[in-house]
Homo-oligomer: A and B are copies of this chain.
């Protein structure tokens, strides 16, 4: 923030005229937030990678931009402060503060966008559906906080952290989770193999698992997939199994070293997956942290999950 108030902005006509950067992109300083948004959505295509990243972040988190500092915003967007300044200048602003003023002004009046559209359309079937799913997800998420067995969670994390190779199994609905978890693990450098059973090779692949590996199994009522069978056969050969399921009656439970139970709400016959996803992601991170600590026990901050923050800005993004 360079000026007291955002109202009396100095005349920048001269700056725009000779600002090589601004001229290069051909943008003249958008006065209002709406103008900026319009410019952003139109001309972003041919922006360099990082600047593009900035544009997207600005688009997605206007409030954070208005309230934060260059440093904080840059951090959130995964770029350097200087990049933010360059970005602002490329669009004809004198600097970040100048651009920020636009966001502040926007936040000062109206601020929130389509709040009212929802009210008036709340009668529509579409709104009812979306609302229903949001609600059931939210409820599930709320419930899991109270019910989650942290001791089991730790045990699972420990087992997986000690594993040489992590096999991940789950079918149907659980498969969405499996693919997500597998991707997350991979992005953190944790070796894993999601058994998708393409070509019906799951049994054969799992037969290669040894007691130094581990299996993460996911299955929900009515447990009628091959997942329990796979888990059982692996367990028989001494491979440690940990599982996520939705009741203590799951066939996974007897064969598991540790398991957690996550109960999901359902709306209109469709169970949410949010709570399970949240717990699963926490598990993934927990495993990764354990491994990082095992490598350099002293180096990591104990409480802040250093490894979780240090590696990269966004560890799981992109399509």
Contacts and interface: CB of A to CB of B under 8 A. Distances in A.
Interface stretch (A17-25, A202-210, A217-225): A217-225
Interface in A59-91: 59-60, 63-64, 66-69, 71-72, 75
A68 B4 contact: yes
B115 A249 contact: no
B282 A72 contact: no
B249 A147 contact: no
B246 A314 contact: no
A171 B114 contact: no
Q: How large is the interface on A (under 10, 10 to 19, 20 to 34, 35 or more residues)?
A: 35 or more
Given A4-B71, A221-B56, A146 B268 contact: no
Complex A-B, nearest 5 residue pairs according to Cβ-Cβ distance, in ascending order: A4-B72, A225-B319, A133-B278, A129-B282, A274-B274
Interface of A: 1, 4-6, 40-41, 44-45, 49, 52-53, 55-56, 59-60, 63-64, 66-69, 71-72, 75, 104, 107-108, 110-115, 117-118, 121, 124-134, 137-138, 141-142, 144-150, 153-154, 157, 170-177, 179-180, 183-184, 198, 218-225, 227, 246-249, 251, 263, 266-275, 277-279, 281-282, 285-286, 289, 302-303, 305, 308-309, 311-319
